[in-house]
């Protein structure tokens, strides 16, 4: 099992610094900047286990806290702060691992903040974006409004989604992904927004799908 190394990164004078954890396997073939969801930080078991599973497949990760999580606040940061955090961590990762293919994404809120940032800025340093449960809409409020910015992204995008995810009704998500030329949708039967299906957590399968998708992209270059 790989032991992560720790670091800190200053975001801004108002937001302060955040914690990072770097998981760097031997013979690393790619690295993923991995953002957490709205309700749990980078140290949540899902995030840690996913990083370990990816490392077993040669994919490194940099997990990080958004400022609100670092400061132990309940309400997620406004989008401009969250997006700035994504930018800072991606720049940090690119500077540290210049020769390693770079991907970004995250769980739910973290993935959405990542794609929102990249929809507004040059995407050249990234190879692709991974969504571990894209939160298409709030539970019980079906809508596709949150997907509008995705049409501004030209990078490959991988949507990993449970078929029982109440934050992304399939009858809405599937047409959204079909309308995005660079999107790949992988469904996990019976899984909820946390990727749990009965007693199964699907983390090994999530890592395997992510690793293979990355390999396909890297091999095309």
| Token reading at 139 | 């539970």
Q: In the sheet where 5-12 sits, what is the strand order?
A: 5-12, 16-23, 59-64, 30-35, 102-107, 128-132, 157-162, 183-188
In the chain, what are the domains?
5-220 (3.40.50.1820)
Residues 210/201, Cβ–Cβ less than 8 Å: no
Which 3 state secondary structure label does DSSP give 75?
coil
Please tell me the distance from the alpha carbon of residue 50 to that of residue 99, in angstroms, as a whole number. Answer: 23
Residues 82/73, Cβ–Cβ less than 8 Å: no
Tell me: the pLDDT tens digits for 27-48? 999 999 999 999 999 999 999 9
Please give the pLDDT value at position 221: 63
Please tell me the distance from the alpha carbon of residue 149 to that of residue 145, in angstroms, as a whole number. Answer: 9
CA distances (Å), origin 147, targets 11, 47, 109, 115, 175: 26, 24, 13, 10, 11
pLDDT at residue 180 greater than cutoff 90: yes
Whether the model pTM is above 0.75: yes
Please tell me the distance from the alpha carbon of residue 67 to that of residue 85, in angstroms, as a whole number. Answer: 8
Mean pLDDT calculated for residue range 117-131:
89
Tell me: the pLDDT tens digits for 79-112? 999 999 999 999 999 999 999 999 999 999 999 9
Q: Decide the pairing of beta strands 102-107 and 157-162.
A: unpaired
């Amino acid at each position: 099992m790989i032991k992560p190394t720790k670091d800190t990164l200053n975001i801004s004078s108002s937001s302060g610094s955040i914690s990072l954890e770097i998981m760097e396997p031997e013979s690393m073939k790619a690295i993923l900047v991995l953002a957490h969801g709205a309700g749990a930080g980078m140290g949540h078991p899902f995030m840690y286990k996913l990083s370990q599973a990816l490392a077993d497949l040669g994919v490194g990760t940099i997990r990080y806290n958004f400022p609100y999580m670092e400061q132990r606040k309940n309400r997620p940061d406004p989008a401009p702060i969250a997006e700035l955090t994504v930018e800072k961590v991606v720049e940090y990762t690119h500077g540290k691992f210049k020769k390693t293919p770079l991907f970004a994404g995250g769980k739910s809120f973290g993935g959405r903040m990542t794609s929102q940032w990249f929809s507004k800025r040059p995407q050249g340093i990234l190879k692709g974006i991974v969504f571990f449960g894209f939160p298409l809409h709030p539970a019980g409020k079906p809508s596709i409004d949150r997907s509008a910015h995705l049409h501004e992204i030209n990078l490959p995008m991988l949507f990993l989604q449970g078929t029982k995810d109440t934050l992304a009704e399939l009858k809405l998500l599937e047409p959204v992904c079909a309308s995005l030329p660079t999107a790949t949708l992988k469904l996990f039967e019976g899984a909820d927004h946390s990727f749990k299906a009965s007693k199964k957590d699907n983390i090994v399968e999530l890592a395997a799908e992510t690793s293979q998708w990355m390999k396909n992209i890297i091999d095309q270059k």
